[in-house]
Amino acid sequence: MGQREVLIVDDDRQVREVLHQIFLGAGYKCLLANDGQEGVEVFRASVRESRSPLTVTDLKMPVMGGIDLLQQVRQADPDAAVIVLTGAADVKTAIASLKLGAYDFIMKPVNVDELLIAADRALERRQLLIEHRHYQELLERRVEEATRGLAQLNRELQDAYRTTLEALGSALDTRDVGTESHSRRVHGYAMATARVYGVPEPDLPALAHGVLLHDIGKIGIPDGILLKPGPLTDEEWKIMRRHPEIGRQLIEKIPFLQGAVPIVYCHHEKWDGSGYPQGLKGEEIPLGARIFMVVDAFDAMTFDRPYSKAQPFDVAKAEIKRCSGKHFDPTVVTAFFNVPETLLEDIRRKSVEP
């Protein structure tokens, strides 16, 4: 803090001069005003020059009294340090001034030591208020910067997760011969269908993870069964049908992938209850799995595989419609049919791009 400065406001010239000498003797630079109106003008000029002095004011003055002065000074500078001088008859008004933001009031005749102690404390309090506010502003800026940094880090982590899951999905596709880019296409079809169905946006990442990892359990299926060119025996089918359970066990302990578990575990269930591993029926089957079943079947029919030729979109849709209510949830089928074909073609085209 530089040299202390005080604005003395009193209509009594003699009192004003006594106060002037007191504060000069204590090392203050002094500004003087004859009444409240003049005091406000001097104070505002001081604020414009980035100085905000301590104000010591009488209560009863012509033109403008101390209460009005106090209010206007505090309006010009909410941290203004103001001390009110009062006679015995005006103690109630002086107490009211404290509620309006005065730091203290001093009874006349003025005790010099009491006045100077109150002045020092008023300025200290003003400084503390300013420092506290600056600290708060600094803290808020740092919190905002940290929040922005965390949001950016979170976005980068989400991107890294997504890239990793896409890579894992692609790796699973290449292990299952003839299904290259299958996960990428099914992911696109599933997102489009979910949006038409009305799945809330915050629930879409879990659906996406489940779609990309739906066959992760095939990691635990021996190559001799997974890559077998001919039909599987009953015993081999028992082993193959374990992949949803293996998949669930692989991901259920990973917090980030909790939302993927219902699709990984239930993507071979069927609407009429004839699926596996639990034989769930109708809406017992998680919605994500019901969406996956439709788009997975559509992709299987519309893309060339070693054991089947690609069918046109309308043929595949006719087959899905035929199985609606048996294998597939009719409401999901309706949502899928409402996805524009141009979007389905776009997803398919992009899936085979490098």
* Averaged pLDDT score across all residues of the chain: 87
- Other Cβ atoms less than 10 A from the Cβ of 161: the count is 14
What would the pLDDT profile of 10-51 be if each residue is shown by its tens digit? 988 999 999 999 999 999 999 999 999 999 999 999 888 878
Segment 141-157, tens digit of pLDDT = 888 888 887 778 777 77
Residue 177 pLDDT level (bands cut at 50, 70, 90): very low
The pLDDT score that the predictor gives to residue 142 is 85
CA dihedral 93, 14, 69, 135 (to 10 degrees): -100
- Residue 22 pLDDT: 93
Whether 315 has a pLDDT exceeding 90, the answer reads yes
Per the confidence metrics, is the pTM higher than 0.85? no
Name the burial class of residue 313, with classes exposed (0-12), middle (13-18) and buried (19+) by CB atoms within 10 angstroms of its CB: middle
When pLDDT is cut at 50, 70 and 90, the band that residue 354 belongs to is low
Q: What is the pLDDT of residue 159?
A: 74
- What is the pLDDT at residue 191? 95
Side chain identity at 222, as an amino acid letter?
P
The pLDDT score that the predictor gives to residue 178 is: 45
Q: Which domains does the chain possess? A: 5-138 (3.40.50.2300), 176-351 (1.10.3210.10)
Spatial distance between the Cα atoms of 67 and 44, rounded to a whole number of angstroms? 16
Instruction: For 229-277, write each residue's pLDDT tens digit.
Output: 788 899 999 999 999 999 899 888 888 788 899 999 999 999 999 999 9
Q: How confident is the model at residue 213 (pLDDT cuts 50, 70, 90)?
A: confident
pLDDT of 116 above 80: yes
